[in-house]
Amino acid sequence: MECDVAVIGSGPAGIQAAIHAARRKVSVVIIGKPQNSAMAGARIENYFGIPGAMNGDMILKNGVGQAKIFGCTVMEKNIIAASNVGEKFSLTTEDDEEIIAKAVIIATGISRKGLNVPGEKTLYGKGVSYCAVCDCGFYKGKTVVIVGDETEAAVSAELMTRYASKVYWVYRTIDASRNVVAKAENAGVKMINSGIKSIVGSDRVESVILENGDTIPTDGVFIELGAKSSADIATDLDVIPQMDDSIKVNDRCETDVAGVFACGDVTGKPWQVARAVGQGCVAGTSAAEYVKGVKE
């Protein structure tokens, strides 16, 4: 599939960006699952024009409906890979569909969810990682544990088989496409249906204790609890995230890479719906103007 603007993320920032881009008569694709937005299931208060509280799910549903009215294509899938292809960008979904876009807007929300188990914080950087793509090279010939239920856990598990000697994938329920799960299984990943009770180690990670009572000796634990993070996507597109994994943008929501924009919580605090929607408006408008400027 080809489009003018691809929006990664279907929360308030991404949906608003898509609406404003589409209103400027460019083709727009939104890729993401609304249920993964921080707004899903939330009570939204103190928002302009909405007295009292409103259900976040309803706002998302209405927003997606608006985007479709303006001609946006909505794909409720996760992105597992991104790259620059000349002056365009290639995005790959979890079922291996490729999207070629002239501009990309990153609006994936806050990344790096934690397990909140003993040992996680104290051993962060000492064997605990939230980015397999970033740290895979440190685990050549070692044993690692991937934790998570969704797409990024499956993709990270398959990736780590190219480096580690043994890869375990610990999950409670699998909420990833069969395509990426099969790739992990075929690569030799050992799958374990359980949760993580604690991460054990002194100076380095030594093992994980599972909720089923088993212990797995390991050199590293990769916590991958969602879709591909904003920092990972940015890096794939040659945008360098800041130390806190946020993405630096100017007042037009442009990154340092031409054709790549970002908006919403990925650009930093305050993490508020009002700010996300406002930046979405700016990013969508800027991306549409960029695309029109590079058309032959």
**What is the tens place of the pLDDT at every residue in 144-183?**
999 999 888 999 999 999 999 999 999 999 988 899 999 9
233 and 218 part of one domain: no
Total domains, the chain: 2
C-alpha span between 272 and 269 (Å, rounded): 8
For residue 122, being part of any structural domain is answered with no
Confidence of residue 231 (pLDDT cuts 50, 70, 90): confident
Q: Tell me whether strands 190-193 and 166-171 are parallel, antiparallel or unpaired.
A: parallel
232 and 85 part of one domain: yes
142 and 202 part of one domain: yes
CATH number at residue 8: 3.50.50.60
136 and 185 part of one domain: yes
Q: Does residue 193 surpass a pLDDT of 50?
A: yes
pLDDT score for 152: 85
pLDDT score for 288: 97
82 and 66 part of one domain: yes
Of 172, 207, 223, the last residue of a domain is 223
Q: Does residue 197 surpass a pLDDT of 70?
A: yes
**Mean pLDDT score of the chain:** 91
136 and 219 part of one domain: yes
pLDDT score for 296: 41
Report yes or no: 215 and 206 within 8 Å, Cβ to Cβ. no
95 and 7 part of one domain: yes
Residue range(s) defining the domain that contains residue 197: 128-223
